[in-house]
Structure formats: structure tokens, C-alpha cells
Amino acid sequence: MPIAEHALLIIALVITLLFGLTVLTAIVFFVVDRWQTGDAIRRNYPVIGRFRYLFSDLGEFFRQYFFAMDREEMPFNRAQRSWIERAAEGQSNTLAFGSTRNLGIPGTAIFVNSFFPPLEQQYATTKPLLIGPGARHPYLAPSFFNISGMSYGAISKPAVQALSQGAKEAGIWMNTGEGALSSYHLEGGCDIVFQIGTAKYGVRNKEGHLSDEKLREVAAHETVRMFEIKLSQGAKPGKGGILPGAKISPEIAMIRGIEPGQDSISPNRHAEINTFDDLIDMIGHVREVTGKPVGIKMVVGSEVFVREFFDTIVARGADSAPDFITLDGGEGGTGAAPMPLLDLVGMSIRDSLPLVVNVRDECELKERIRIVAAGKLINPGDVAWAIAAGADFVTSARGFMFSLGCIQALKCNKNTCPTGITTHDPHLQKGLVVERKHARVARYAREMIHEVETIAHSVGVAEPRMMGRRHVRIVQSDGRSVPFSQIYPSVNPVIETSISQT
């Protein structure tokens, strides 16, 4: 038999075999679907009904790539992600033809450009800002933009390594998240903020209580600059961290001090903190044991509680105050959280930030308590708005995830992240090459700082922390914009000064 005929015969046999297997599979599915009682669609429409679930699963990906406009997606749209991608790759972030942003949407921030912006020789370098002047080892923080809490466990080993090395290169700090301190955080040599979650991973004794001995061990690392007591998180206020058992390897279990392979559910609050006095006592205790600045991370639910907290601080004296407060908004992110908490609980950072800044300033604690803003602040306009609102620093987690290559696959809680960022599958982690990704992290941070400085110069000031609410207008429901300073008047408004006079 000629070779060509032989090859055709083999192809025909393979096609016949595949067709037969397809038919057999369809028959099996038909029988299974017809007789099962749990799903009405599959029972009434055997085999064909299965496509409904396939299309539902694929829908979010098709919408992302083919149907959604640049500004339509949630939680982050293509325009936001594309800016980070270009920044991380060191590409030009200039665009042509005009903005695609709808400037008539209520809440949109519009910056007030100056008639006389500073010339290049009038630019000022953003100075490092001191945190924790009363601690034995205060921290002179060099950058206003830093990495928010992402724990080893929620994100992978190569992701932590790339963030640590990139943070060192960019001169910014990295928050450990509540998953404790690993060698991968330390190997990059960046400044570290150690977060103490409600489960006290990494600083707990066998009973799960705070261990002074382990606090000292962590504080002994020179690059651990501060400690942050996590009270609540924007994506799930009122509920502790959730790490699925599939993501808890023996190494992660050892670092955290828990059992491997079992779901790790943190308590919804610190058991020893029942009042604001208890909270202040814990802040003081950790500061005394470690010798380093101590702050808190919280989500605001009501002005009443904010004022009660500050009243307690004033009553006990400024020395008792937290060295910083990290404000997370209700729009904050997470690897896993119940949808009602994601969608419905906690004030937005757009409301809570000016509120807390005003209360702090009313209590004359501006130089004592630094404010760190978090919660979906990933682009220059977001960061510039937060600084103008009164934040001393801004941190981002998801912005840095995008700089690592995150594609918003929404698989963070399933250990199947296709980019290797939030998975502990060794095969998937191979896609995240630390030697390349750490440079993207550093470039994103540097470009963010550069473009926030560009906005500051546009409004007529020499550096970002000179911006105030007077430099921003907020679009209202009727399409008009009003000064941000009119909506949330500052307690200590900065006196307008022309650059030409400075």
C-alpha cells in the first residue's frame, strides 16, 4: 500500500475513533443528566444544558477581552491596568487624541491646574517623613508610595521575592500582611512593616496569644521598621483572614505556626482588645517590647467610633497614640472574602480619609500620627487625590500585583492563578520569573511617584505633600464640579502661596 494511502487510512481511523468516543461520551452524559435530580437545566436538557455553565465560566474572560470598553470593567478596568503595564515595562505613558474617561460621573476628582506652575528648577524633592518620634527606633520613611499588606500564603514565594527586591530597588517599604515574616521578605533587603493580624501569625505562642519573645525576634531584624496591628480590612471588615487549606504548605504552616493543609481562619478581632483603652494598651506594649513604631490598620464604619478613639487618645496623652493609622476603604481587595462584606460593609476611602484626617488635626495630632491611605488606589490620580485629602502615605496591593503580571483572572482564592502570583502550584509559579518581575515592581513604583509629582507641579506646588483639598474639584450629580475643600473643609487649610513668590 502506498505511503499516502496508508497515512490517509490512519487519519480516517483516528477520526472515526474520536467521533465514536464523542458519541459515547454524549450518551453517558445524557443518561447521567437525565437521571440526576440536583440540576433542573441538565435534567430537562441533557448534555446541551452543560454548555450554560461553560459559557458562564468563560463569560468574564470574553467580556474582559472583547466586549467591555476601556473604562467599564470592575474591579479594575482596562485603562487602569494598561497604565500599570506600561509603567512596569518602562514604556511611554503618553496617549493620543484625548481622554476616554467620562468626566461627568459623580465623584470624579478633577485637579485644579495653576496659571503659574513651577518651572523645573523650582521642583522640590519629596522629603522622607518621620514616623514614631517617641519610639526607640523611629522610622524615617523615604517614599510616599509603598506596598500594602499581602501575606506569604495569599501570594506565592516568587511573588514575595519579586516584591521584596523591587521594593529595595525603588526605595519603598513592603508590608508583610498578616501571614508573618518569611525569609523571602528579608532577602531583598527592603524596609519591612510587620503586620500583626488577629491570629498573630509569626508572633504567637502555642496557645495563639501574643508572644513577647517572638516580637523581639522579629524586631531584631534591622529592616523590620514598623509594626502594624490589623483591626480590620476593607474587603472584609468584621471578619478575619481566610487562607484555604490548599494554599497552606508545610513551609507556610511553619512560618505562621499553624497546621498544614487545613483552612486557616483568623478570628474576627483581637480577643484581648475589648475597648479603645485596651487597643491603646496593646499599641504601647508592642512599641515597648520592639522599640519600633506601631500603628493600626482599620476600616471606618462610623464617625462616632473615630471620635471616641481620638477622645481616648487625647485623654491618655499624645505619647499613647498610635504612630500611624492605615485606613483601608470598603473597596479594598483580598484573596478571599464573603460577597456581602466585599460589597456592602465599610466606608469608602473617599469618605473615611478626609474624615479621619480632620479628626486627627482637630486633636492637634498631625505631627504625631501619620495617615496611610489604602483601598483601590492604583493610578496616579488616585494617589494624588489621597495626598491632597490629607494622607501622608499611600499603599497599594493590587497595583503591585498588576505590576507582577496579574491579569485579573479572579482566581486568587482557588490556588489556580494563571500568572503564578497567588498560587502554590510549582508549575504555575514557573511563569513568575523573579529576575524579570522585580524590575517591573520598581519601575511601577518610580513611575507612580514621577506622575504624582507631575500632577503636583500642574496644580502649582513644588512636591506632592504640598497639595491640599483646594487643588481638587469633585463632580456632583448634576455634572458640575465643586471644590473638595467645600465638601470636606480642612481643619488646618494651607495658605495659598504662589510658586513665583517662593
Q: Report which listed range, 86-90, 167-171, 414-418, is most confident.
A: 167-171
CA distances from 1 to 5, 8, 9, 16 (A): 7, 11, 10, 21
Is residue 197, in this structure, part of any structural domain at all?
yes
Contacts of 279 (CB under 8 A, 6+ apart): 229, 231, 273, 296, 309
* Full domain range(s) for residue 218: 120-237+270-407+414-487
- 43 and 176 housed in the same domain: no
When divided into structural domains, the chain yields a total of 2
Is residue 103, in this structure, part of any structural domain at all?
no
Is residue 242, in this structure, part of any structural domain at all?
no
- 399 and 279 housed in the same domain: yes
Query: Cβ(319)–Cβ(134) under 8 Å?
Result: yes
Is residue 501, in this structure, part of any structural domain at all?
no
Q: Which of 45, 73, 101 is the last residue of a domain?
A: 73
CA dihedral 383, 387, 392, 397 (to 10 degrees): -20
Is residue 381, in this structure, part of any structural domain at all?
yes
pTM of the model: 0.85
pLDDT in tens, 368-410: 999 999 988 989 999 999 999 999 999 999 889 889 988 887 7
Is residue 386, in this structure, part of any structural domain at all?
yes
Is residue 369, in this structure, part of any structural domain at all?
yes
Contacts of 56 (CB under 8 A, 6+ apart): none
Query: What does the pLDDT read at residue 341?
Result: 60
With pLDDT > 70 as the criterion, what percentage of the chain qualifies? Answer: 86
Query: What does the pLDDT read at residue 171?
Result: 97
- 61 and 178 housed in the same domain: no
Q: Is the pLDDT of residue 72 over 70?
A: no
Rounded CA separation 231/223 (Å): 24
- 276 and 368 housed in the same domain: yes
How far out from the chain centre does Cα 38 lie? 39
Query: Cβ(181)–Cβ(192) under 8 Å?
Result: yes
- 351 and 476 housed in the same domain: yes
pLDDT in tens, 420-447: 898 888 888 888 889 999 999 999 999 9
Average pLDDT rounded to a whole number, residues 324-352: 76
Query: What does the pLDDT read at residue 412?
Result: 78
| Per-chain mean pLDDT for the chain | 86
Q: Is the pLDDT of residue 3 over 60?
A: yes
Among 339, 315, 452, smallest CA distance to 396 is for 452
Is residue 260, in this structure, part of any structural domain at all?
no
- 24 and 126 housed in the same domain: no
- 17 and 130 housed in the same domain: no
Query: Cβ(286)–Cβ(193) under 8 Å?
Result: no
Rounded CA separation 110/467 (Å): 13
Band the pLDDT of 500: cuts 50, 70, 90: very low
Rounded CA separation 460/184 (Å): 42
Backbone angles phi, psi at 239, to 5 degrees: -140, 140
Rounded CA separation 363/314 (Å): 7
Q: Which residue bears the cell 502615605?
A: 393
- 186 and 276 housed in the same domain: yes
pLDDT in tens, 204-233: 988 889 999 999 999 999 999 999 999 987
* E-assigned strand segments in 148-270: 173-175, 191-196, 224-230, 242-243, 264-265
